[in-house]
Amino acid sequence: HKYFNDHGFYYIHTPIITGSDAEGAGAMFKVTTLDLNKLPRDEQGKIDYTQDFFGKETNLTVSGQLEGELAALALSKIYTFGPTFRAENSNTTRHLAEFWMIEPEMAFFDITDNMDLAEDFLKSLIRYILDTCLDDLEFLQKMYDPELIERLNFVIQNNFERLSYTKAVEILIQSGHKFDFPVSWGIDLQSEHERFLVEKHFKKPVILTDYPKEIKAFYMKQNADGKTVRAMDVLFPRIGEIIGGSQREESLELLNQRINEVGIHSKDVWWYLETRKFGSAPHSGFGLGFERLMLFITGMANIRDVIPFPRTPQNAEF
């Protein structure tokens, strides 16, 4: 909060219950008050959500980004910090079904401005922790991770390496390293690929840009090549991806084309499209998973150890 307040951002609350899918991935928790034993049906035999509490199909939010964009286009620079839900069956040490996200959105920021902010934000957070919580870090280093403080200094003392997804794929292929998941252009990079780039090749944090549009969300600005989008991921040692963001698409024509390609109904995001209808501005933003940040800062091995009540597949105790 202090960082964003000092940099002139407004703090915005975005809704937990939403009728939109910010990622277009469909991995959402549904919200309904309908009797599951007597579901109403329409003429096509589909569930009739007009009889539900909100009169339409609703879900728990996967991101506050789309609503955040509306606020940024009005107020210039905003951020949100709240719970986020993903119904992904990912039983790993890096995933939670319920987690907290820090999401800034900035009008008149291009992808370079976005990368600059992400790097400065992460370095500021880690520098603050090193300055104010050194006793705690020394305890965590002694008990859990003997390289913890060295790794934190590694982040703040290095300029993040910036390169395209295409260049990263070339480096991974030419390395000759045997990965569990084979590398080719067009795949979504796995944690092992990301960590190889950070820990073995560059030996510094990395920001990858210009990903294939097929593996990224519909709202990302398309590049002139028609194949890639102005996405960016920040990669850290041990963690892999810690931040995901992009420059947002401001062209209504290209946005409509993209939502048709990914199968999103324009009526579900009409309010989002309206922000481009009468002219828009270049704008960008990113999301930082709070628990992934805590995982990195504390040196813990499992993300379930940095949240009081972890929500994971087949686990929702308390």
Domain boundaries, the chain: 2-27+62-306
Helix or strand holding residue 139 (H, E): helix 134-143
Domain 2-27+62-306 belongs in CATH node 3.30.930.10: yes
* Residues in the chain, pLDDT under 50: none
Considering all CA atoms of the chain, what is the largest pairwise distance in Å, rounded to the nearest integer? 65
Contact 225, 243 (CB under 8 A): no
CA nearest 217: which of 27, 39, 46? 27
Neighbours of 274 (CB within 10 A): 11
The residue type at 241: E
pLDDT value at residue 182 = 95
Residues in the chain: 318
3-state helix, strand, coil in the chain (%, to 5): 40, 20, 40
pLDDT value at residue 21 = 64
pLDDT value at residue 117 = 99
CA nearest 244: which of 270, 219, 275? 219
CA distance 139 to 170: 41
Distances (CA, A) of 215 to 17, 186, 228, 262: 26, 7, 9, 11
Q: Where are the beta strands (DSSP E) in 66-204?
A: 77-85, 98-107, 161-164
Residue 205: phi and psi, rounded to 5, are: -60, 150
- Annotate 33-55 with DSSP letters as a single string: -S-TTS--B-TTSSB-GGGSTTS
pLDDT value at residue 263 = 87
pTM surpassing 0.85?
Answer: yes
CA distance 45 to 43: 5
Tokens representing residue 301 in the block = 């091995």
pLDDT value at residue 24 = 58
